[in-house]
Amino acid sequence: MTILVQEEVAPRIFKLTLQGKLVEEMETPGQFLHIKVPRADLLLRRPISINAIDQATETCQIIYRIEGDGTKAFSELTPGMQLDVLGPLGNGFDLSKIKSNDVVYLIGGGIGVPPLYELSRQLKEIGAIPVHFFGFASQSVMYDKELFEALGVCHWATDDGSFGMKGHVGMLLDQVVTETPETPAAVFACGNKGMLQTVDERYRNHPNAQLSHEARMACGMGACYGCVCHVVGDETGTKSVKVCDEGPVFPAGKVVI
C-alpha cells in the first residue's frame, strides 16, 4: 500500500493514511493489518488495528504508538513510500444483531481506541446510537476527540484528571450508568488488559458484549500458536484460542484475560 499521509496526533502516537486495492477487502471493524517493518533486521510484522476505511478513495487509516524499533521505523516513513501489508486479518466486531435506534456502548482505552472509530461510524450507518466511554493516561495523549464527538455522546476519563473524570474507564462507567441508567443493546470494548477485565466482569452476562483482545503475535494467521489465550471454565488448562485468527474479538466471558 502507498503512504498518503503520516501525522503525529499526540506525542509518540501516529496516524497513517494508506491507499491501495487491499482496501476493497476491508469491511469489518476490529480487523487488523499485519505490516512488515521496513528494516531488514526486523523480521516480525507488526499487527495494527484498522482505524477507518474509505472505499470511495481506496484509503484506510491506522493509528499506532511508538513502542519499539518496529513502530519507530513506521514513524519515519513519508508520503509516497510503499508498505508491505497483509490483511485484513482476524475476526472483528459482529454487528449483525444491531438495529436502528439501538443504544450501543463503545468502551476504549489508550491505544485501544482506534478500531472503535470505524465501528462507531458503521453503527451510525445502521442508525444505532453509539455512546463512547474512553480513558487515557492524560489529556496530552488523547486524539481524535472531535471525530468521536461528531458520531455521538462521549464520556472521557483521564488517570491524572487533566480531562474529563479523574480515574479509569470502570469508574467512568459506574458514574454515568448510575446517573443515566439504560441497558445498552450491545457493548463493544478494546483496550488494555485491566480495562478489558473491568468490562468483562461487568458485562459477562450481557447477550451481546464483545471484547477485542491484545496478544503478542508472530505469524498473525493462526500458524505459530504465538498468540494463544486460555478459555474461561477450562479446568484442564488445555483449551485455548488463537487471538489472531479466532479473534481478536471474542464474546465477554469467553477468554481468560
> How many angstroms separate the CA atoms of 19 and 230, rounded?
37
Where do the DSSP E strands lie in the chain?
2-10, 13-19, 32-35, 46-54, 59-65, 85-89, 103-109, 129-136, 153-158, 165-166, 186-190, 209-212, 228-230, 240-242, 249-251
Our CB check for ligand FES shows the closer of 77 and 218 to be 218
Q: Exactly one of 206, 242, 252, 257 binds ligand FES (CB under 6 A); which one?
A: 242
Q: How many chain residues are in contact with ligand FES, going by CB under 6 A?
A: 12
> How many angstroms separate the CA atoms of 55 and 155, rounded?
30
Q: Exactly one of 60, 227, 229, 249 binds ligand FES (CB under 6 A); which one?
A: 227
CB of 238 to ligand FES, least distance (A): 17
CB of 33 to ligand FES, least distance (A): 14
CB of 218 to ligand FES, least distance (A): 5
If one asks whether residue 244 binds ligand FES (CB under 6 A), the answer comes out as yes
Q: What is the dihedral of CA 169, 15, 223, 254, to 10 degrees?
A: 20
Q: Exactly one of 152, 226, 251, 253 binds ligand FES (CB under 6 A); which one?
A: 226
- Chain positions 205 to 224 lying near ligand FES, rule: CB under 6 A, are 217-220, 222-224
Q: Point out the annotated binding site for FAD.
A: 46-49, 63-65, 70-71
> How many angstroms separate the CA atoms of 200 and 189, rounded?
9
- Residue identified by cell 483449551 is 239
- Chain positions 70 to 129 lying near ligand FES, rule: CB under 6 A, are none
Q: Which residues bind ligand FES (CB under 6 A)?
A: 217-220, 222-227, 242, 244
